Structure 1
């Protein structure tokens, strides 16, 4: 019982989940659109406590006709990534690195599980996350596991509040590759967000100077 309360505490602590509707304008979403190279894939991100091994947060990335990052009730944001109700657009390589860097720190590491899927599955999942709506506190894993469990052949992924359970069920999908990412960054997420925003501002300034030259 004590461990159950600890896990729930981690879910509330890292995810800091709050169902606040966000709706970026059409022009921002269209401008940020990122179309990944290669076959369609689905990637599950699970943030794991380095102290207890419990899961703190779950996120899902779909590489279909465009890349969508479903970060239900998460706390990461970036000025170059417009959001619509927990779905981020325009997640190119640098922004994806920023997202992972935000979560991989001295207290948590990130488990990255990727699997190649058909265009039909990518389209189904893309539609599911876009229509899901903003996710309430501590329901990141629940929302993702519910969506994944509806994919044909993935019915073994049961609905779960616990990110590690969803991660373990996802690992049973044939062809899944797994990577663990560690970092010794500070646990101060606000500092990381501020640094990432400064880097984006510098990049925009350089681009503007080069464009005028």
Structure 2
């Protein structure tokens, strides 16, 4: 009973995970928006954290493969320049990515959130497989952002040991234990601007402001 209550509380804290998004942009818009950053190939797990209670707010996955996309399962982020098909956002330029982090790392009179960014360089084959898996996944139901990402990654060679979790923070911590992961904390300064205060976290957990 206690375990069920904790699980229910955890699901209720995922404020940024909305309902199922059935948005499916025309393929011509997706093709036109295609953004290729080029090598090296990598993935980035974003974990939104509520500063007021420490709960996990959201999980999203950036994939830099043959193109760079953002898998934002059950997310509420929108950008008119970024077409969406089944929770996969296409055309993730640096500007689009900045708008995504601005959306999630915010400090207002009523709420305060930061993002933990965990980046892992992977082979082109692995990056492409993850891209294919998020494209085939389809829209994700409410409060299943972390669960969907963990399920997708656990089906990829090299990620079998990743923890399966419904909770963004637990998923982030498990992902952070993978060899080679680079971690940083992104916050928005409390000055009304859209500029971020980026803090790198070293392997010993020590923050370094840049």
Q: TM-score range by the shorter chain?
A: 0.7 to 0.9
Q: Which has the higher helix share?
A: 1
Q: Which residue of 2 aligns with 1:69?
A: 70
Q: Which residue of 2 aligns with 1:14?
A: 16
Residue 125 of structure 2 corresponds to residue 120 of structure 1: yes
SS in 2 for 1:145: helix
Q: Which residue of 2 aligns with 1:93?
A: 94
SS in 1 for 2:115: strand
176, 184, 190: which is aligned to 2:181? 176
Any stretches of 5+ residues in structure 2 without a counterpart?
A: 195-210
Residue by residue over 1:2-37, the C-alpha shift from the partner in whole angstroms, topping out at 9 and shown as x without a partner, is: 7655432211x222x211312111110111000013
- The verdict on how the C-alpha distance between 1:133 and 1:185 changes in structure 2, with shifts beyond 3 A counting, is farther
CA distance in 1, matches of 2:23, 2:12: 26
Q: Which residue of 2 aligns with 1:55?
A: 56
Q: Is the 8 A contact 2:38 2:66 kept in 1?
A: no
TM-score, reference length from structure 1: 0.82
CA distance in 2, matches of 1:23, 1:14: 20
The CA deviation at 1:184 is 4.3
Residue 122 of structure 2 corresponds to residue 155 of structure 1: no
CA distance in 2, matches of 1:115, 1:20: 27
TM-score, reference length from structure 2: 0.83
SS in 1 for 2:188: coil
Q: Is the 8 A contact 1:146 1:158 kept in 2?
A: no
Q: Which residue of 2 aligns with 1:164?
A: 169
Q: Which has the higher strand share?
A: 2
CA distance in 2, matches of 1:49, 1:65: 33
- The verdict on how the C-alpha distance between 1:128 and 1:140 changes in structure 2, with shifts beyond 3 A counting, is same
SS in 2 for 1:20: coil
SS in 1 for 2:66: coil
Residue 83 of structure 2 corresponds to residue 82 of structure 1: yes
SS in 2 for 1:170: helix
CA distance in 2, matches of 1:47, 1:94: 19
Q: Is the 8 A contact 1:72 1:134 kept in 2?
A: yes
CA distance in 1, matches of 2:22, 2:16: 20
Q: What RMSD in Å do the two structures reach over aligned CA positions?
A: 1.9
The CA deviation at 1:102 is 0.3
